[in-house]
Amino acid sequence: MKIAVLGTGEVGHTLATRLAGLGHQVTMGSRSADNPAAKEWAAANAAAHGTFADAAADAELVVNATGGLVSLAALTAAGAENLRGKVVVDVSNPLDFSEGFPPKIATPDGVSVAEQLQRAFPEARVVKTLNTMNNAVMVAPGRVPGHHNVFLSGDDADAKSTVSELLQSFGWAADQIIDLGDVTSARATEQLTGLWVRLYGVLGTGDFNFGIVR
């Protein structure tokens, strides 16, 4: 599949590398066409890079791996016409560390980033997922042994199926994937990030995940 990964940080890097390794044709998108991190990644992975718009234009599926506080700007730069009808996998979190620790979950009036993106780009098919864990665990769930989960939120059932298949290609078992419902349920997982940050401090490792036990 032709996939755009928007974002050149650790999360974007990890997802882009995993997707390229699975044989997808990946373009890493960033604010500028000559982003050094994107250029370096593309050279190392025999893949492409470009602006947000370049990456999204060619893609069948778009991964938003930008920071949650700048995601709306990044997708605006990608362009509504380049997102139309496409699955947008949103893995971002709106953590604001500007006032130090603990960070705030900075969502205006409690509305999640995923909802903001879906409202701004009504013809895109936004699916929130993977935002409740470290990027290493996202693409290799076996790093954490035992029963733990990944969540899906989105309005489009077909888009969620596509993303579920993508997750399974990463190594997630079908019974680890919990569909929380429509895009408003992304609030629940974005708000979970605060607990993740605390647990990271307590446990001293990012190799953990949340399991729903019943």
Q: Are 70 and 76 in contact (CB under 8 A)?
A: no
Q: Which is nearer to its own copies, 85 or 100 (CB)?
A: 100
Q: How far apart are CA 73 and CA 82, in angstroms?
A: 14
Nearest to 154 by CA among 167, 139, 171: 167
Instruction: Using the Cα atoms of residue 176, residue 177, residue 181 and residue 184 in order, give the sign of their dihedral.
Output: positive
Q: Are 110 and 139 in contact (CB under 8 A)?
A: no
Angle of helix 113-120 relative to helix 71-78, nearest 10 degrees, comes to 30
Q: How far is the CB of 207 from its own copies (least distance, A)?
A: 6
Question: Which residue of 104, 122, 123, 168 would you call a contact of its own copies, by CB under 8 A?
Answer: 104
Site string for its own copies, 41-80 (x = CB under 8 A): ----------------------------------------
Is position 34 an interface residue for its own copies (rule: CB under 8 A)? Answer: no
Q: How far is the CB of 213 from its own copies (least distance, A)?
A: 4
Is position 211 an interface residue for its own copies (rule: CB under 8 A)? Answer: yes
Q: How far is the CB of 18 from its own copies (least distance, A)?
A: 21
- Phi and psi at 168, nearest 5°, equal -65, -35
Pairing of strands 25-30, 48-51: parallel
Q: Which is nearer to its own copies, 30 or 131 (CB)?
A: 131
Residues of this chain, 134-173, that bind its own copies according to CB under 8 A: 144-148
Q: Which is nearer to its own copies, 79 or 181 (CB)?
A: 181
Question: Which residue of 8, 92, 164, 185 would you call a contact of its own copies, by CB under 8 A?
Answer: 185
Q: Are 94 and 73 in contact (CB under 8 A)?
A: no
* E strand or H helix at 76: helix 71-78
Q: How far is the CB of 71 from its own copies (least distance, A)?
A: 19
Q: Which residues bind its own copies (CB under 8 A)?
A: 102, 104-105, 110, 144-148, 178-181, 184-185, 187-189, 191-192, 194-195, 197-199, 201-203, 205, 207-214
